[in-house]
Structure 1
Amino acid sequence: MWGWIVIGAAIAVIVVLAFIAGRLLARLHQQQRRRQEAMTKRNTSLDESVTTLARAMEQGQCDFSEGALRIVVLLDHRAEPEKPDYAAKYPALHQMYERIKHMPTHDARKQFPKKEIRRMDEEREGYERELKDAILKDVRQLREDFREDKA
């Protein structure tokens, strides 16, 4: 008789543990789905920003230096299981980024003397002229790669 009670209790414990494990697995799947949806939403938003900047650069509405700074950072923030080598894929944008990333922007720029700001602007504009054709090529490729209607 005691043997059947122990077996019944053991089965009850197994059923309860199986139920708990099932609920935890369901929560895990739900959490993974939410994380994937959030990652997809974030990447979609980043992609829209990248294509908007690329279009603006192509149309001359955004300086190549500003666009390169922003695009490189946006691409770096994409959540991807295997991150592509964007520096190899868009070399001119990354080359511009590497050349000007040390230059101050916004309020930090205001702390420099006007002569130094003018010198940095001339340096940046020189890089823009030098890399113009290569950057436009990268921007066109980037727009193709991040096309909205691409499935």
Structure 2
Amino acid sequence: MMWMGLAVTGVVIILALGFYAGRLLFQLKQQNQRHQLARARRTATIVESIQVIAKAMLQQQCELSEGAIRLCNLLEALPSASPPDYSRQYPKLYEFFYKVSGFAILDARAKLPKSERMRQDVARAQIESEYETAVLKELPALQDYCDTL
């Protein structure tokens, strides 16, 4: 009789643990689905931003240096398990980005003396004129890449 009570207690404990494990697995599945959905939404938002900026650059509605900085940062923010080497896919864009990213922006630019701001503006304009054609040629390929995402 005592064995029977222990066996019933053991079965109840095993069933309770099984139910609890199943519940945890279900919650994990839901969490993974939410994570994938959030990742897909983030990717879609970033891709849309890249498309808009690239289009604005092609239509000369956006400064080339500002667009390059934004595009390179957005590309690096794309969620991917194994991201491609964008600097190899778009070498001129990234080369241009590295050259113009050293200039002061926003508050740091506002704090500069007027002569230094002018010097940086002239240097940036020279770099933009040097890279404009090459960068603009890479933008359609970037837009095509975004269409595949």
Range of TM-score over shorter length: over 0.9
Unaligned 5+ segments in structure 2 are none
**CA–CA distance in structure 1, aligned partners of residues 106 and 48 of structure 2:** 24
| Residues 118-127 or 35-44, more deviating | 118-127
Tell me which residue corresponds to 1:130. Answer: 130
Tell me which residue corresponds to 1:107. Answer: 107
Matched letter for residue 59 of structure 2: Q
CA deviation digits over 1:102-128, x for unaligned, max 9? 211122111111111111111111111
Tell me which residue corresponds to 2:2. Answer: 2
TM-score (norm 2): 0.95
Q: Counterpart of 2:78 in 1: which secondary structure?
A: coil
TM-score (norm 1): 0.94
Matched letter for residue 93 of structure 1: L
**CA–CA distance in structure 2, aligned partners of residues 90 and 130 of structure 1:** 16
Give every structure 1 segment of 4 or more consecutive aligned residues whose post-TM-superposition deviation is greater than 6 Å: none
CA deviation digits over 1:45-102, x for unaligned, max 9? 0110000000000111111110000011111111111111111111111111111212
Tell me which residue corresponds to 1:140. Answer: 140
| Residues 48-57 or 91-100, more deviating | 91-100
Alignment RMSD: 1.2
Tell me which residue corresponds to 1:21. Answer: 21
1:47 aligned onto 2:63: no
**CA–CA distance in structure 1, aligned partners of residues 137 and 23 of structure 2:** 52
